[in-house]
Every structure is written in C-alpha cells, then in structure tokens.
Structure 1
C-alpha cells in the first residue's frame, strides 16, 4: 500500500477510512498528536477521542506525541497518523509562535516538516496519515487562522507529493486523486 494521505473536511469519514486501510495488519502503531482527552474541561473532545479509541482494534498500539518524525523512525510496523492538522497546531503551540511573525520561526516549521517528510519516505512499512483539507471555506478574519490554513495547505501538498495515493473523503466516499 505504501504511503497514503487521507484528506477531507471535518466529519467526512477520514479517520474511519484510514483505519479500515490497516484493519488487517497484525500490528499498527497509531500516532496521535492530539491533546489528551479531559472530559471535565472539554467533554466534546473527550467524546471524539473515545469514539476513535472504541473503533480501533485492541492490539493497535497508541502513542500520543508531536514528534511524528521520531516516532515513525522508531517504529517497525505499519503506522496510522491522525491527524496532521492537529500535529501542526500542537507544534505551533509548543513553539509559542501563534503571535510571533512567521519569519521568526519559519526555520522551526521547515525543519519539522522536512523531518516528517524524511521519516515518511524512509519508513519501510505502510504509513497512512489523516489530514484536514483547508481553503474551501471563508478566509479567516484572524491572522492565526490564515497562517494555519497556509501552513497546513503547504504541509498537505508536500505530503501528497511524497505519497503513493491521496484520498479525498467527501460525505464518507473516497475519491482517489
């Protein structure tokens, strides 16, 4: 299967489709860069995380990390990354960069993306990544929203170019690009 990027809008079926691609694998490393679920502070996020966990086979190993490149390099099995948009958000948070001029931290973004791409391409097993498609809605009135859309769009383009297959999910239907 190689490298597969699954993109689409919110609730388009991306994660379920990506999980189904690896359903027959004996071992899968599930990499999630999302924030830990805390039902007390964010019950809606906790419910989403619970739904994802409930769907996954019990033998899949879950690792919560924003170091996707390092985790990919250290894994000797197929991998599912869910999701690249969350990784980007968490990375910008970790760099404390939302309010900083992009030129001040461009090198961090470029380095992190290149490290992810290198690990993506060098991983000897199937890797499936879920991402969000951006740019089909209104342009954000906030600089941080425009920056996020720009950077995720660039990230998606680079990952797509390094992938064997790119799947756009629309209303639960996969469209191979």
Structure 2
C-alpha cells in the first residue's frame, strides 16, 4: 500500500498530535512548516512556540502565514500546525467574533474551500494538524461555541480531502 499523500492529524490538547505529525515527515528531504496562527503577548504561548521550534529539524523552513491556500502551493512536503490557530487568526483578522454567525461562516467556508482545493492539487506529502474540540464541555461564551462549531466545519472539509485521518489520544494513534 502506498504512503498517504494527505494526512489530517487530530486530537485533544497535548495529545501528541504535533509530535506524530512531525514523525510522519521525518524522512522528507525538505519540509515547509506552516505556522498559521496568531501571535500572543503571553509567556506560556511563547514557551510553547519555542518548544515546537526546538523539536523541528534545522533544515525545515518555517513560514508564518494565515493564507493557507497559498502556503499549500509550496513545492515541498508541508506540515501545517494547526488549523485551530489558523481559524483563530482568520476570525481575529477579520474582526468577526461578534458578527452574525452566517457572516463568519461564509468567510470560513470560503477560505477553507480554497485550502481544500489547494490540498487536493498537491503532489507532495502534506500533513495538517487540528484540534478535536467538539468532545468536551459546552462553552459558556458565544466565541467558544462559535470556534467549536467552525472548527468542526473546517475539520470535516479538510478531512474530506485527506487520504487518511489520524486521531491521537494519550500519545496513541488511531488511523480512521
């Protein structure tokens, strides 16, 4: 059986999904690591980014962009980590956290559909990391519910273009 070309890796926070995604690309001669999320003025967030950077091989190129479709046009293996932070950057950048749900959904669907089209056109190995947030508590705030619902849509659409979906739980990988 041939190796999958497009893999979506999902799981909870600190489940091991990023490490697993990196392992999938360990043998690739060139990798473009796409960091699509926002930056925060937060010491814990900075420490998490530093940990991820330290783990990556030196020959991997890092690209920080929220233009996911353009990033997927890169002619090397690609690792996108992660779609949850991409979604946050997208909605933050458009200032739509308080906008009517339909307006936010329209933007997200437009951008994720462009990313799906770019993903399907790829001929190099591509691994995308995302969070599985719909299995937890019901968020108290509208922004939390909106994020959960939108990420569910993003995951379904990207998952439809993936050759495999890997669920990482407690460091264990289930191929769905």
TM range (shorter): over 0.9
> Equivalent residues in 2 for 1:161-172 (5 A)?
161-172=160-171
User: 1:31 is matched with which residue?
Assistant: 34
**SS of 1:57's equivalent?**
coil
Distance 1:72 1:53 in 2: 20
Alpha-carbon shift at residue 109 of structure 1 (Å): 1.6
Distance 1:82 1:157 in 2: 17
Q: Which runs of 5+ in 1 are unaligned?
A: none
User: 1:59 is matched with which residue?
Assistant: 59
User: 1:68 is matched with which residue?
Assistant: 68
**SS of 1:168's equivalent?**
strand
1:2 and 2:1 correspond? no
Alpha-carbon shift at residue 159 of structure 1 (Å): 1.1
Residues 38-80 of structure 1, C-alpha deviations (whole Å, 9 max, x = no match)? xxx311111100110011000000000000101112x110100
1:147 and 2:146 correspond? yes
Distance 2:50 2:15 in 1: 18
Distance 1:72 1:45 in 2: 25
User: 1:122 is matched with which residue?
Assistant: 121
1:92 and 2:95 correspond? no
Residues 113-164 of structure 1, C-alpha deviations (whole Å, 9 max, x = no match)? 1101001111110110000001111111111111110110111111111111
Alpha-carbon shift at residue 91 of structure 1 (Å): 0.1
Counterpart pick for 1:12 among 15, 19, 31: 15
TM-score, with structure 2 as normaliser: 0.95
**SS of 2:63's equivalent?**
strand
Q: Which runs of 4+ in 1 moved over 4 A?
A: none
Q: Which runs of 5+ in 2 are unaligned?
A: none
Alpha-carbon shift at residue 36 of structure 1 (Å): 3.6
